[in-house]
Amino acid sequence: MFENSMATAVLAASDLERAQRFWHDTFGLDPVSTDMGGATYVIGGVAVLVYESEFAGTNKATAFGIMTDDLDRDMAELRSKGVVFHDYDMPEIKTENGVVDMDGERGAWFDDSEGNIIALSQPTSVTLDEARRMLAAASG
Domain residue extents for the chain: 8-138
Integer Cα distance of 68 and 117 in angstroms:
17
Give the N- to C-terminal CA distance of the chain in Å, as an integer: 12
Residue by residue, DSSP assigns 36-93 as TTEEEEEETTEEEEEEE-TTTT---SEEEEEE-S-HHHHHHHHHHTT--B---BSSS-
Q: How large is the average pLDDT for residues 66-82?
A: 96
* More confident of the two residues 108 and 2: 108
pLDDT tens, residue by residue, 12-22:
999 999 999 99
Q: What are phi and psi of 47, to 5 degrees?
A: -80, 135
Residue by residue, DSSP assigns 98-123 as TBEEETTEEEEEEE-TTS-EEEEEEE
Identify the three-state secondary structure at position 13. strand
Integer Cα distance of 55 and 64 in angstroms:
16
pLDDT tens, residue by residue, 12-65:
999 999 999 999 999 999 999 998 789 999 999 899 999 999 999 999 999 999
C-beta of residue 84 within 8 angstroms of C-beta of residue 97: no
CATH topology of domain 8-138: 2,3-Dihydroxybiphenyl 1,2-Dioxygenase; domain 1 (3.10.180)
| pLDDT on residue 112 | 97
Q: How large is the average pLDDT for residues 95-104?
A: 94
Q: How confident is the model at residue 140 (pLDDT cuts 50, 70, 90)?
A: low
What's the predicted TM-score (pTM) here? Answer: 0.90
Indicate the range of 38-42, 49-53, 118-122, 136-140 predicted with least confidence: 136-140
Summary mean pLDDT of the chain = 93
44 closest CA partner among 27, 56, 21 = 27
* More confident of the two residues 18 and 2: 18
Q: How large is the average pLDDT for residues 74-100?
A: 96
